[in-house]
Chain A
Amino acid sequence: MAEALVTITKDEQGVAILQMQDSVKKNALGTAFVEALTHALEEVSSDPEVRVCVLRGLEDVFCAGGDQDLLVALAEGEVVASDIMLSRAVLEVPVPTIAVMEGHAVGGGLTMGICCDIVMMARESRYGCSFMNMGFTPGMGTTRLLALAVGDYIAAEMMLGGQFFRGSHFEGRSQINYILPREKMWRKATQIASAIAEKPRFALEMLKRDLSLKKRRLFEEARTSEVPMHQVCFTQPETARRIRENYVSNKKES
């Protein structure tokens, strides 16, 4: 049997590590991966002993964003974008969440990370918003949530231009908690997680719910405008062509 796409490990302190490890498709958001991830998030969310959830990807890729097949299916109207509610699943985790984005995070993958309460980037990895490269407006709450992390102007540049910026680009100009050399990230992440896990679960849960209200509100606001924009984009015949031509595949090392 193939290795699980997403695994959960939990220690006695209540630190749950949710490891995304689809090394073949590089954590791209395809049907099977989204299902595995959603399931893992539900499992962590329903475990009363968990006090903090750490979201980790592969060393080189945190999450590659929408899988090409899924995007083409969206463009051809086979799936509706609002079905992909991964951002909400992350936002709704009842305990504090930490995104340890050691590797690249692209499109929906970056937004998923930003949905966490604490966000870490690697100086040498790249982060970008690829939606418009493929001819459609951003989804998954990106239109509102990205600005929260990197500010309105940088978010606008990222969404409109679709460039991939190094983590180091965001140093001193974003709300990202830590931008570190990749090899130093995990140690820092475990320190942050332990500091949180010392606190009582009931208090963590209340405070998390309260602090995440802004993000949850922004997400709902974003969905309100992202869904109709997608309806326009995905009915343009050009979009499916652009997805096929411009999708950057991480599947193979080149």
Chain B
Amino acid sequence: MTKDKILAIVKTNLLDILEDVEEDAITSDKSMKDLGANSLDIVEVVSTSMRELKVKVPRAKLNDLKNIGELVDVLYEEVQAKADA
């Protein structure tokens, strides 16, 4: 699983969940808030992506993320950790 694949998964879920976002507007340096997501939109995007990747990141670790790229990094770490285990 590459970071690009994880970004693609997050992107698909963002498009599903936010409905009114343009695909081109989603980039790693942006936060979901920049894209108009509210707090529970973000929870839904993250939960759905974690389910799809079959990983679970503790909420505490998710609270300080600044943009989509950082979310992808955290998800990637978990996917790697799971693969190594």
Contacts and interface: CB of A to CB of B under 8 A. Distances in A.
B40 A164 contact: yes
Contact of B39 (A245, A247, A250): A250
A128 B43 CA distance: 11
Contacts of A128: 40
Given A126-B44, A164-B44, A253 B59 contact: no
A125 B39 contact: no
Interface size bracket, A side: 20 to 34
A166 B47 CA distance: 15
Interface in B23-77: 33, 38-44, 47, 58-59, 63-65
Interface size bracket, B side: 10 to 19
A252 B63 contact: yes
- The listed residue with most B CB atoms (<10 A of its CB), out of A125, A128, A164, A168, is A164
A247 B59 contact: yes
A172 to B, nearest CB: 16
A235 B42 CA distance: 32
Given A60-B39, A104-B38, A245-B58, A254 B44 contact: no
Given A60-B38, A104-B38, A124-B38, A164 B58 contact: no
A174 to B, nearest CB: 18
Interface string A223-254: 00000000000000000000001111110111
B40 A245 contact: no
A170 to B, nearest CB: 14
Nearest to B33: A254
A102 to B, nearest CB: 12
A200 to B, nearest CB: 41
Interface of A: 60, 104, 106, 124-126, 128, 163-164, 166, 168, 245-250, 252-254
Interface of B: 19, 33, 38-44, 47, 58-59, 63-65
Identify the 10 closest CB pairs spanning chains A and B, nearest first: A126-B40, A164-B40, A104-B40, A248-B43, A164-B44, A245-B58, A250-B39, A254-B63, A164-B43, A246-B59
Given A106-B40, A254-B64, 6 more contacts: A104-B40, A125-B38, A126-B41, A163-B47, A164-B43, A254-B63
15 contacts: A60-B38, A104-B38, A106-B40, A124-B38, A126-B40, A126-B41, A126-B44, A128-B40, A164-B40, A245-B58, A248-B43, A248-B59, A249-B59, A254-B33, A254-B39
